[in-house]
Amino acid sequence: MVDRLQALLTHFSVSARTFQLGPLCGVNTLDGDAPSGQLHLIREGAVKVWHGQTLAFAINEPSLLFYPRPMAHRFVTDPKRGADFMCAHITFEGGTAAPLANALPPAVCFPLAELPDSLPALELLFAEAGALNCGRQAVLDRLFEVVLIQLLRHMMENGSARIGLLAGLSHPRLKRAIVAMHEAPERNWRVEELAAVAGMSRSVFSNLFHDTVGEPPASYLQRWRLGLVQKWLKQGLPLRLIAEEAGYGSESSLSRAFKSQCGLSPRDWLKSENARADTAA
């Protein structure tokens, strides 16, 4: 069986930090300035979710609401009865280079009844929230991460995404080629080889990949590699090793591809990122 999430989560792990346990009454706003997304569980109560002046969701049953990237949103609940929330900040390793964060829509909402495979984890999460056990914060954070991974599974299985990475991973044949690229970015993949992995002809594979994922296979592979390069640059790996691990023949080849995609050389990009991080701190 092809594991569609293993390489993604190995290279770009996800972490949760619980920040809300209990009722929210009236109007509550998250301004979207934090560098993380949010995962909200509405256990009970009616909630209207606003994006600016647009009513995005009217929630009237226990539901999961996920923002994979920073985005301002506002909750409106009954000012007296409120609604029962559990919330966590969600951070993908790699930041803006994280493929999963970029592949998801701006906001995702599902009734909990539509997530039966998540019910055991949700029951543990709710039980832990109501207890005062040692290590509660750490347990809640890990359980939020489990629920998020199960949400990603659900979205792939039910075809929630029409186009993009998740749509490709939902396809019974395309997923084989995508996982192959994820697992071996250093390999000099040719379209013919990827088509063979998917069990398709070159032309059919290329057209289907473009229509489903939204870009040609070579373009996707390039973005996957450069996302890894950005992560490894931040980790302080030498450029020579990064070029080898990412499938570039030399540092100069990597630098040309990086500058073409990002507008800066790897070293200049890293200086810019470090300066931005220092300013934010």
| pTM across the whole model | 0.91
Last residue of a domain, one of 131, 157, 183: 157
Question: Is 153 found in the same domain as 31?
Answer: yes
Residue 145 shares a structural domain with residue 72: yes
Kindly state whether residues 22 and 116 are assigned to the same domain.
Answer: yes
Domain co-membership, 187 together with 223: yes
The pLDDT score that the predictor gives to residue 96 is 77
d(CA 229, CA 168): 23
pLDDT of 280 over the 80 cut: no
- Examine residue 270 and state whether it is found in any structural domain, yes or no: yes
Do residues 16 and 136 both lie within one domain? Answer: yes
Edge to edge, the sheet with strand 83-92 lists: 14-24, 83-92, 37-44, 63-67, 108-111
Q: What is the pLDDT of residues 170-228, one digit of tens each?
A: 999 999 999 999 999 999 999 999 999 999 999 999 999 999 999 999 999 999 999 99
Q: What is the pLDDT of residue 276?
A: 78
CB proximity list for 236: less than 8 A, separation 6 or greater: none
- CA dist 259 and 150 (Å) reads 36
Q: Please state, in angstroms and rounded to a whole number, the distance separating the CA atoms of residues 72 and 159.
A: 27
Q: What is the CATH number of the domain that holds 214?
A: 1.10.10.60
Q: What pLDDT shows up at residue 159?
A: 77
How distant, in Å, are the alpha carbons of 18, 103, 156, 171, 217 from that of 161? 27, 9, 7, 11, 18
Tokens of 90: 């969600």
CB 60 within 8 A of CB 116: no
Check whether residue 238 and residue 145 sit in a common domain: no
H/E element, 262: helix 251-262
Same domain, 50 and 101: yes
Written as six digits, the tokens of 46 are 């009616």
End-of-domain residue from the set 133, 157, 181: 157
Residue 118 lies in a domain: yes
171 near 205, Cβ under 8 Å? no
3 state SS of 104: coil
Is residue 128 situated within a structural domain? yes
142 and 175 inside one domain = no
End-of-domain residue from the set 108, 128, 157: 157
Q: CATH number of the domain that 120 lies in?
A: 2.60.120.10
Question: Is residue 162 a part of any domain in this protein?
Answer: no
Segment 245-264 mean pLDDT? 93
Percent of the chain with pLDDT over 90: 86
pLDDT digits 0-9 by tens, 123-161: 999 999 999 899 999 999 999 999 999 999 999 988 777
Q: Which helix (H) or strand (E) holds 63?
A: strand 63-67
Q: Is residue 105 part of a domain?
A: yes
Residue 10 sits in the same domain as residue 126? yes
Residue 261 domain-assigned? Answer: yes
Q: Establish if 134 belongs to a structural domain.
A: yes
Q: What is the mean pLDDT of the chain?
A: 94
> Could you tell me if 199 and 237 lie in one domain?
yes
- pLDDT 10s digits, 48-94: 999 999 999 999 999 999 999 999 999 999 999 999 999 999 999 98
Q: Are residues 136 and 29 in the same domain?
A: yes
**How many structural domains compose the chain?**
2
Residues 175 and 266 in one domain: yes
Residue 281 clears pLDDT 70, i.e. is over it: no
Q: What percent of the chain has pLDDT over 70?
A: 98
Query: Per the domain annotation, does 250 fall within a domain?
Result: yes
Give the span between the Cα atoms of 162 and 152, in whole angstroms.
Answer: 14
Domain that holds residue 224: 167-280
Q: What is the DSSP string of 163-218?
A: SSHHHHHHSTTHHHHHHHHHH-TTS---HHHHHHHHTS-HHHHHHHHHHHHSS-HH
